[in-house]
Structure 1
Amino acid sequence: MSQEICILPFFGQGHLLPCFQLCNHLTSTNFHVTLLISSTLATSIPSSLHQHPLFQVTLIPSQPPPPSPEHHHDELTKGLQNIFSNYPRPTRPVCAIVDVMMSWSNNVFKKFEIPTVAFFTSGACSAAMELAAWKAQPLDLKYGEICFLPGLPYDMALTYSDLKQHLHDPPPPPPPQHGIPPPPHECGPSMMGPPKLGGQPPWLDEIQETIALMINTCDDLEHPFINYIANHVKKPVCGVGPLLPGQYWKSSGSIIHDRDFRSNRLSNITEEEVIQWLDLKPRSSVLYVSFGTEVSPTMEEYTELAQAMESCEQPFIWVVQTGKGRPSPPRLRGEPGLGIPKAEGYFPHGLDKRVGNRGLIIRGWAPQLLILSHTSTGGFLSHCGWNSTIEAIGRGIPLLAWPIRGDQYHNAKLVVSRLRVGYMVSNDLSEKVAKDEIVMGIERLMGDEEMKKTAEVLSAKFRSGFPRSSLAALDAFKDFIKQRFV
């Protein structure tokens, strides 16, 4: 009889999607997987998962998140306690894999003597950099100085600029307090606490009583960072990703259709229209611009970006999410307003007519994997959220990094300084990013043939399917569980 594992995901799409893929991989290693999920998220579970005989869902009764996080937490806590108090099977799960953003639930699992495994949906680099910066305390760096982080690669040394940009990070959600889960965000572990480098990573306390860590990454991308974390926490750390849809690994050299596994999204354009537009563009000529669903530049920076897209000659696809456009930091609020209602967010009105067929502006959801897998796409201006970063790397697309907050800074540094498949959009992200910087960055990125070759070589590691190192890590995890609970 197969052993049972429970999985408790966080709410945001950037957490749910990797979690669903983890369920797939664990069932393939003959674990019986029970997904514990809020009843409000039941419709988001892929139908393919429901069809697997070793997978099942247990819904935690809950209402849509109310204004009071305390109330929602209490609701979920009571729901979990009721589930395990009346568990329908003779034995309880051998462990629970818990998203680090849901660590408030550890007390419930402890009450029912179910060991927990911490699950990071972001990469290992961001967690390792936070940990190393806390150890090194490089808070007094001056202009031109760097701080090497013992145990990490030299090319990840912190600079004065690294510290400065974190000082102007948009404020994160409040750190988790006892009884209060953080609000849903697509973010990495650093969003669980203050954004400034040098403080103890909040996740470090959260994983103290866990038996292992799982991270959405692989050895080919982040081997030194996985090892660094494992050496510090003194428990198994498994790189089990990238946790991308199965179609991603089966479609090397061909277009991926997002609609096959990411449906019911609102957009002003169909996949067929996107393909038709891309088919008319030269190979590797299109710049894809997207900041994901959770973060965005300021209103002023959006205007600079629109002017840059108009003035450069590059074909582009720009995804504009409804309601996006952060308020400017205090130092910019004296500048003239843009006349855009805050509730509506930013949209580059009139840009489509001025650029004609050179640009394609998508409002709402975009088929990102389709765009990144099309041969006409040659670059990606991105916030460097972890999912977007690994999707681009796996398809050999260089990045123009424009991180906004949290782990995105570390992901961008990984891309630019270590993997060398991208450039930063600006040398000083603590200041407003200007049109000329964006234009220069686009020209540099799209014209760098050596970088394109480097990106192609790196993506070749993904062409054989799901990474062998991650399959080995899943097998090692299975052996670890069997030995522990034999």
Structure 2
Amino acid sequence: MESTKLHAAILSSPGMGHLVPVLELGKRLATHHGLEVTILVVTTHSSPAESQLLDPSTAPKHLRILQLPPVDISSLVNPDTKIVTLLAIIMRQARPSLRSALCAMEHRPAMFIVDLFGSEAFEIANEFNMSKYVFVTSTAWFTALTIYCHVLDKEVEGEYVDQNEPLSLPGCKPVRPEDVVDPMLDRTNQDYYEYMRIGVEYSLSDGILMNTWEDLEGTSLKALRDHKIMRSIVKVPVYPIGPLTKPVEPAGPNSELLEWLDKQPSESVIYVSFGSGGTLSAEQTIELAWGLELSQQRFVWVLRPPIEGHGGSSFFTSGSGPDGTPDYCLPDGFLTRTHNVGVVVPLWAPQVKILSHPSVGGFLSHCGWNSTLESVSNGVPMIAWPLYAEQRMNATMLEEELGVAVKPKVLPTKKVVRREEIEEMVTIVMESNKHGRKEMKERAKELKNSGKNALSKGGSSYKSMCEVINKDCQLRLESHKLQALQQ
């Protein structure tokens, strides 16, 4: 690698949801902006999908992937430890190996970027005299809530979910109590305090990068930049650099599925997937199956084992997955009755390849931000089915602000969504002669083009990333001049 290049180190916390956008940021910095990039990945136990992503042979020139040794946190957690706390502990324990990895580098990085769980490593960036940035792999609206949470903590009495009015965010759309992120559901849990700490530490950086773009979230971005109250808290520049999404995957073992899609009419298939961590109850799985069948629409459903037992004779066992996973529960005769219009895929499917396929016209999704961007970037409207994390906020934004989704009347985490409502939502999204579908599809295609333009040379996100790089290059130049004068 050329030592004359600006070297950026990017620290990723465990999990596909963090790893995918971090890798895409690294690739973009290396291929579009000419940086030398080292991605430092904190690992736990890698899944096959993670191992494939981290394969060094797939990395572009000037990008190196370095896996830090797994950390032992067994004495620091218990079965009740929630995810934000768990990730915070893992990232804390990984700091010694991070420091050692940086020390061992012949060409030390000048820029240090962490995802939102890595801000406690800023002290190491200071030791190595690196500029430091947070990369928020979600929305500007989520970023605003995270930053403002410690203010809400002083202003709001009782649990947020029990409030009668939406939570006010200066300059931004308010957040409904039922839409708050998971760490804000219980103010007595350590998860809440870790989340507040993360929001405060954003302002210890030299800037906040976000996986969004100007045209998508103009209001929230303006608030973070210009609103007097929000600006007094944020204090550092914000840089929308998205949409950074995973590229189209190779066909792999699902080539038969893609051949099936090739035979379907344009925009006639709804894709159903709840991501790597999304699992429904057995009862909800049954209702979803009936809803899909009643809609009479073509579908591809990536199905994971329900989180409850079979519960009786009303379940059809479709058989084990190819890797010996548990049986899947579906209504009696479902696969037989729908075999001409639907495909049920166990565990995994090449999502980006499916969403980019011309026959796909809708996406029933948990609204994780990676999946959301993959859908929007392909112009595919959605049924928003939020399950955890910040997905409730994403679902609200998709339906009410962006106009590219419909969602159930009651949150799926509060109540089983019945087959009649599922049938109605699928019909709305998939049939052009029904309410709102045409407008949703047109809006989705507008956002697809808008995101593409943002990333193109001269686009808003491209220029935003250039601004960060130019700022760092100028700082490095000034540092070299100062060192020369001192010598």
| TM-score, length of structure 2 as denominator length | 0.77
* Farther off after superposition, 97-106 or 407-416: 97-106
Aligned-residue offset at 1:126: 2.0
| AA aligned opposite 2:387 | I
* Whole-angstrom distance in 1 between the partners of 2:161 and 2:60: 52
Using CA pairs under 8 Å that are at least 6 residues apart, name the structure with larger relative contact order, 1 or 2.
1
> 1:227-266 to 2 correspondence within 5 Å?
227-230=222-225, 231=231, 232-245=233-246, 248=247, 257-259=248-250
Equivalent residue in structure 2 for 1:373, among 345, 356, 371: 356
Aligned-residue offset at 1:167: 9.8
Equivalent residue in structure 2 for 1:220, among 209, 215, 221: 215
Aligned-residue offset at 1:297: 2.8
Secondary structure in 2 aligned to 1:278?
helix
Residue in structure 2 matched with residue 410 of structure 1 by the alignment: 393
**1:154-201 deviations in Å (ceiling 9; x for gaps):** xx444xxx42465999989x977xxxxxxxxxxxxxxx638xxxx974
Equivalent residue in structure 2 for 1:34, among 1, 19, 38: 38
Equivalent residue in structure 1 for 2:419, among 407, 415, 435: 435
Secondary structure in 1 aligned to 2:441?
helix
Instruction: Work out whether 1:275 is the aligned partner of 2:266.
Output: no
Equivalent residue in structure 1 for 2:54, among 23, 28, 45: 45
Instruction: Work out whether 1:107 is the aligned partner of 2:107.
Output: no
Equivalent residue in structure 1 for 2:439, among 450, 462, 471: 450
Equivalent residue pairs, number: 429
Instruction: Work out whether 1:296 is the aligned partner of 2:279.
Output: yes
Secondary structure in 1 aligned to 2:338?
helix
> 1:323-338 to 2 correspondence within 5 Å?
323=305, 325-326=306-307
> 1:4-43 to 2 correspondence within 5 Å?
4-27=7-30, 28-38=32-42
* Whole-angstrom distance in 1 between the partners of 2:166 and 2:66: 50
* Whole-angstrom distance in 1 between the partners of 2:99 and 2:312: 53
Secondary structure in 2 aligned to 1:244?
coil
Tell me if the contact between 1:398 and 1:445 (Cα under 8 Å) persists in the aligned partners: yes
Residue in structure 1 matched with residue 343 of structure 2 by the alignment: 360
Residue in structure 2 matched with residue 80 of structure 1 by the alignment: 98
User: Kindly tell me: are residues 477 and 441 of structure 1, through their superposed partners in 2, closer, same or farther at Cα, counting changes over 3 Å?
Assistant: same
Tell me if the contact between 2:399 and 2:405 (Cα under 8 Å) persists in the aligned partners: yes
Instruction: Work out whether 1:116 is the aligned partner of 2:129.
Output: no
| AA aligned opposite 2:54 | I
Aligned-residue offset at 1:73: 5.6
* Farther off after superposition, 310-319 or 162-171: 162-171
**1:14-45 deviations in Å (ceiling 9; x for gaps):** 21111111112222323221222347677632
The percent identity for this pair of structures is 27
| TM-score, length of structure 1 as denominator length | 0.77
Residue in structure 2 matched with residue 460 of structure 1 by the alignment: 449
Displaced runs of 4 or more, over 6 A: 39-42, 167-172, 334-341
Aligned-residue offset at 1:441: 1.4
Aligned-residue offset at 1:150: 3.6
* Whole-angstrom distance in 1 between the partners of 2:181 and 2:52: 39
In structure 1, runs of 5+ residues without a counterpart are 177-191, 249-256, 264-268, 329-333
Secondary structure in 2 aligned to 1:296?
coil
In structure 2, runs of 5+ residues without a counterpart are 78-88, 226-230, 432-436, 479-487
Residue in structure 2 matched with residue 480 of structure 1 by the alignment: 471
What is the RMSD computed on CA atoms of the aligned residues?
3.6
Tell me if the contact between 1:7 and 1:97 (Cα under 8 Å) persists in the aligned partners: yes
Tell me if the contact between 2:203 and 2:235 (Cα under 8 Å) persists in the aligned partners: no
**1:237-265 deviations in Å (ceiling 9; x for gaps):** 111111124xx5xxxxxxxx5117xx6xx
* Whole-angstrom distance in 2 between the partners of 1:13 and 1:236: 27
* Whole-angstrom distance in 2 between the partners of 1:236 and 1:221: 18
Aligned-residue offset at 1:423: 0.6
